[in-house]
Structures are given as C-alpha cells and as structure tokens.
Amino acid sequence: PSVLDSFALLSGQLNTLNKVLKHEKTPLLRNQVIIPLVLSPDRDEEIMRQTEGRVPVFSHEVVPDHLRTKPDPEVEEQEKQLITDAARISADVAQKQIQSLNKMCSNLLEKISKEERESESGGLRQNKQTFNPADTNALVAAVAFGKGLSNRRPPGSGGSVQSGQPGAAAIIAGASGMQQVAMSGAPAQQQPMLAGVQMAQAAQPGK
C-alpha cells in the first residue's frame, strides 16, 4: 500500500507538471537562460554526486564549458566554410554526388549483410550434428557385446556353434538368426567364418 500511495502521488505531480508546461501562458524553456548563482573553487560533494564524479568543482573555469549554448569558435568557422562550399555547388552536381554516395552506402551495406549471412550459415554448418549418438552407441553395443540381438534360431538350422570365448556366444547366437544364402559358383560345403568362430551352414536353402 505504501508503494502504491507513493506511485499515485508521483503520478499526480507529473500530470500537474505536464499541464503547467503545456499551458499557453507558460514560456518556452528553450528561451530561458541559465545563470550560475554560486561559484566556488572548493570541492562540492553534492555536485560530485549529481554528476557521478565528472565535475568535482563548480568554478569560473568549468562554468563556460558546462553552460555553453554555442559551439566553439573554431567549430563555427568550419561550419561557415562548409556552408559556403555547399552554396557554390550547383543542384545537378549535388544530386550526382548524393546518388554516388547512396550507391556506395548501399554496396557497403550489401557486402556487410552478405558477410553476416555467410558467417551465420558457416556457424550453423559447423554446429550442425551429422550423426545420432544414440544410434551410434546402440550399433557399437550390438557389435561389441551383442546387445539387442535376437537369440532365436530359425527352424531347421542344425548348425552347431563352437566358441572358446564367453563374449562371442551372444554375437554368434544373434548372427545365427540370419539365414544364409548360397552363392552360385561357391562350393556347397564351404563353411562361413564369423569373428573367428566356425559355423555350420544351414540345412535348408535361404529365401
């Protein structure tokens, strides 16, 4: 409630200030002149706090710079010179210069946007993953440990498995589920080898 009361008070004061400033009888602030009333060469902590440490003192030396309403005389001379040079150029020449400048700016913007697009696309290409880690892990587990392979053997396959390694039994059991196809020209009694273990060929021909 206290925060809401404070907010309502501030809102009402701001609305009143806006009404006063928008009133017809209120003079324009740009027509007002700021005059320093107190100048001191001593360090002022309040000014330090208000200016966030930029102005330590409010003396005769810094007042002309901080309360200046016109640019430096050198800047005024340069501005007058530029205005004089611009007045000497004809309208056609000025239009051509404007068009050439706009063309240069548009070309520069196109190059910048093209480089940004290329950098973004290059970053996406570098960050894009070209494989599935889950599938890779499943494939490695199936090849190395026989994980996920079926232990069932097709009916009629009377081949015996001989293995001296306990880890190879799962691989051979899973591999025996695949029916073998006899290749033409290959000897009928040839026995395939899988992971160094001899397997008997199935009695029934493969599909």
Q: Whole-model pTM?
A: 0.27
Give yes or no for a contact between 193 and 168, defined as CB atoms under 8 angstroms apart. Answer: no
Q: For residue 30, tell me if it sits in a domain.
A: no
153, 156, 162, 165 alpha-carbon torsion, rounded to 10°: 0
- According to the model, what pLDDT value does residue 126 have? 67
Instruction: Tell which wins on pLDDT, 26 or 107.
Output: 107
Alpha-carbon gap, residue 20 to 73, rounded angstroms: 37
Instruction: Tell which wins on pLDDT, 83 or 133.
Output: 83
Q: For residue 10, tell me if it sits in a domain.
A: no
- DSSP, residue by residue, 97-135: HHHHHHHHHHHHHHHHHHHHHHHHHHHHHHH---S-HHH
Q: For residue 85, tell me if it sits in a domain.
A: yes
Q: Residue 108: which domain range?
A: 71-120
Q: For residue 107, tell me if it sits in a domain.
A: yes
Mean pLDDT (the chain) is 76
Pairing, β 193-194 against β 197-198? antiparallel
* 160 Cα distance to chain centroid: 61
What backbone phi and psi angles, to 5 degrees, belong to 199? -125, 140
| Average pLDDT of the segment spanning 45-66 | 86
194: three-class secondary structure by DSSP: strand
Q: Which two tokens stand for residue 2?
A: 């206290």
- Per-residue pLDDT band at 73 (split at 50, 70, 90): confident
The tens digit of pLDDT for each residue in 93-123 reads 989 999 999 999 999 999 999 998 888 877 7
- According to the model, what pLDDT value does residue 112 have? 93
Domain count, the chain: 1
Alpha-carbon gap, residue 161 to 163, rounded angstroms: 6
Q: For residue 202, tell me if it sits in a domain.
A: no
Q: For residue 196, tell me if it sits in a domain.
A: no
> At residue 162, does pLDDT exceed 70?
no
Q: For residue 166, tell me if it sits in a domain.
A: no
Q: For residue 46, tell me if it sits in a domain.
A: no
- According to the model, what pLDDT value does residue 201 have? 44
CA distances from 82 to 8, 53, 85, 147 (A): 52, 37, 5, 83
